[in-house]
Structure 1
């Protein structure tokens, strides 16, 4: 909802383009900075507890964002809601993966999960455009009402069958170090500044040294030695880099270069939400028939095609000319997002699903922030639009190469081999 409302927020509060992108990036800063800590906290302190507690914080600060009268107030509210999301999101994913056995049942559950996320995207586009006509503040107030209903329902409906892991001590040095490192790296991404990036890398090196000596490490370093896990997270970062950068550029193009209203913009991008239907149906069927990595690879190629087609954009393009790219983008999201969540926890012990989810969503948020920052740095005007749109193409090209290294020849079932021999 917020992405569609950005031009209205800028006009009312008099924000610069950099501050406007900061309204999105502040949320990402809190989200990416605290995600690893949030994921591990879910494993150690209880997934249900973390989900409910931080959903309540999310409700409060989303409401405060709607009351902001200055840019800095909006940035603070967005940052804290990002921190809340960093704790509740991996807990939510771990609640799903821990309660469904690995295989078709979990794939089905994660397909529904991805479809629900897509439904939120679609609803946000239309609702955001409609709410902005009544005032951009309703973009913050509406989630308060919805999240409050979710919170009450969760108290009665959510059960955590996996007890928290009781440890004699919590790795506080590791927690502080990795959080500071991720905050610095997230800030470096949203500001494109080298100094905090170097400081963040130094703190990550210190964090690794701490974890090697800790009796009860916050992050088991052995988990990070999985090549498949690393490739999955790199792909997630690149996929969301492309998607967030494209969406930000498209919003500015339609509203500020073409003069479309927020509602028209939301309706134009609504077709991307086709994965609401495809994710729990087509994607789940494909994953069970093939495997998550192959379906993900198909999604990346589809997304690459979508962004490539949009490079032909002109200042007077009709919606009919845009539609093929937007439809392909919806299909790409359906084929990629669910398999990413499946691959992120594939082969990971149940007691580390929160951490695995934290790694995935850290990659997703860093990709989102980097995509928006890169497009902002290039600028979106009549002269630089095509340059900005080249960034998603380049990101998905790299993602295709990374994912291709995970593809392995499919094993032919023995009964088929025997029949062929006969």
Structure 2
């Protein structure tokens, strides 16, 4: 057995302080994932509670998704320039205020404002917490393990939210979906200053304001265009993002230096993340429609059906770091994507008989394992090879990619499904597109990362 193999087999260990740091930083992401999942389950109750019609329910999600995706890159860079811990603590304060506002909402305006503020808090918290994590643990086994636990907790959060959301809302009402954040965020707010050191700040703090305005405006316009299928907003988004690229080429202190955006690990890693997070949540949405509208299961039964494969997500997050240590990010990332895509193929052939669960549940189990393994490898890839002073930007990019992808995936594949008059046929067609895009992207990422692999081996 080679020394490298022995080293890969040795499980990295956190000391007591590092465990607490990981718990606090990743606890915020877990809380946000649980809340997002619970609110998805509670949407009808939330809408009726504040007088929001069925047509407006989508905006309970969209009001959150727009700022969460549109501001992630900006706040990631601000974390580098003005202090990661400071931004993380600010995010907790905003989240507490937003959750209280949502919990006490009496009309749609209060509710949607609260959701938008929760999206802003997410755009601040995720890149700040991840960059604090990546700067606390140097590149290598401990960082990979920490990011693996991040994947496990995010998946666990979505699973827990789906499983307990219906019960929680039935017992305590829809307002509990907002109030549940408050005590957790307060504990994080109190513990963070004692556990996490503030990041070092650059000597001359400068923010690329034209770049910040164009990239944020462009992302908001583009995401809005996809959600609302608005051509004018789409054109405006493309123009603003093109202007952002031109500004970054000439800016003396660019928000996102082009040299970083051109790095194979950043470029191909974020392409992988875009596909990973576009296709899998959209598949879950399609399978939710299938279970409830085709097979006739209740919302609670649907949550339980997803809960069993969800355990594979947690397991994948725990062991993904070790897989990366042994096989490298390129191999684990593309294999995870391939598993995610290939496990979707059996779903294309599901019929309208409940015996389909015998195929659906194992396929979801395998697919969720590949999905979370790919998430961990994508996060490691997108943040590797960069100095500490640019980790906020790197994690801002990965966070932006994730939020944009989750937001656009469901509308895109729903539009594909809607081209067919028969619901089951439309779901099958959308799943075929899902498989084709995922496998093609896996091949492209394998090819694109070859130079980096050659340089590091």
Normalised by the length of structure 1, the TM-score is 0.89
1:400 match: 442
Contact 2:345–2:435 under 8 Å retained in 1 = yes
What is the correspondence of 1:267-346 to structure 2 with a 5 Å cutoff?
A: 267-270=304-307, 271-281=309-319, 283-318=320-355, 319-346=357-384
Instruction: Please tell me whether the aligned partners of residues 51 and 107 of structure 2 are also in contact (alpha carbons under 8 angstroms).
Output: no
1:30-45 correspondence to structure 2 within 5 Å = 30-45=67-82
Find the aligned partners of 1:387 and 1:10 in 2 and give their Cα distance: 31
Task: Say yes or no: does 1:211 pair with 2:248.
Answer: yes
Asked if structure 1 preserves the Cα contact closer than 8 Å seen for 2:316 and 2:370, the reply is no
Change (3 A) 1:267 1:369: same
Q: Deviations over 1:246-301 (max 9, x none)?
A: 122223333455443333222211122422233222x1221111101211111111
Describe the superposition over 1:194-214 as per-residue Cα deviations: whole angstroms up to 9, x where unpaired. Answer: 221221221222223333343
| Counterparts in 2 of 1:242 and 1:19: CA distance versus 1, 3 Å | farther
Q: Deviations for 1:44-90, whole angstroms, at most 9, x for unmatched residues?
A: 01000000101221222133233444445433322221111111110
Quote how far apart the aligned CAs of 1:180 are. Answer: 1.2
Q: Distance in 2 between matches of 1:227 and 1:312?
A: 37
Name stretches of at least 5 consecutive residues in structure 1 with no aligned partner. Answer: 415-422
How big is each residue's C-alpha offset from its partner over 1:104-125, in whole Å with a ceiling of 9 and x where there is no partner? 2221221222222222122222
Asked whether 1:253 is paired with 2:286, we answer no
Structure number with greater CO (CA < 8 Å, separation at least 6) is 1
The separation in 2 between residues aligned to 1:314 and 1:70, in whole angstroms, is 42
Structure 2 match to 1:78: 115
Native 8 Å contact 1:184 1:197 kept in 2: yes
Q: CA deviation at 1:343?
A: 0.2
Query: What residue in structure 1 maps to residue 20 of structure 2?
Result: none
1:365 to 391, 399, 403: 403
User: What residue ranges of structure 2 are gaps of 5+ in the alignment?
Assistant: 1-37
In structure 2, the CA distance between the partners of 1:321 and 1:210, relative to structure 1 (3 Å rule), is closer
Distance 1:370 1:179 in 2: 16
Q: For residues 214-273 of structure 1, what are the alpha-carbon distances to aligned partners after superposition, in whole Å with 9 as ceiling and x for unaligned? A: 332222221112133111111111111111211222233334554433332222111224
Structure 2 distance, partners of 1:232, 1:340, is 5
Aligned positions, number: 412
Deviation at 1:351, TM superposition (A): 0.6
Q: Single out whichever of 398-407 and 341-350 deviates more from structure 2.
A: 398-407
Mean CA deviation greater in 3-12 or 229-238:
3-12
Task: Give the drift of 1:173.
Answer: 2.4
What is the CA deviation profile of residues 361-407 of structure 1, one whole-angstrom value per residue up to 9, with x for unaligned ones?
11111111111212443449455332333342233133222222135
Deviates more, 1:22-31 or 1:287-296: 22-31
Which runs of structure 2 are paired with 1:11-410 in the superposition (5 Å)?
19-134=56-171, 135-160=173-198, 162-270=199-307, 271-281=309-319, 283-318=320-355, 319-377=357-415, 378-379=417-418, 381-382=423-424, 384-406=426-448, 408=450
Aligned CA distance change for structure 1 residues 33 and 289 (closer, same or farther; 3 Å): same
Deviates more, 1:13-22 or 1:259-268: 13-22
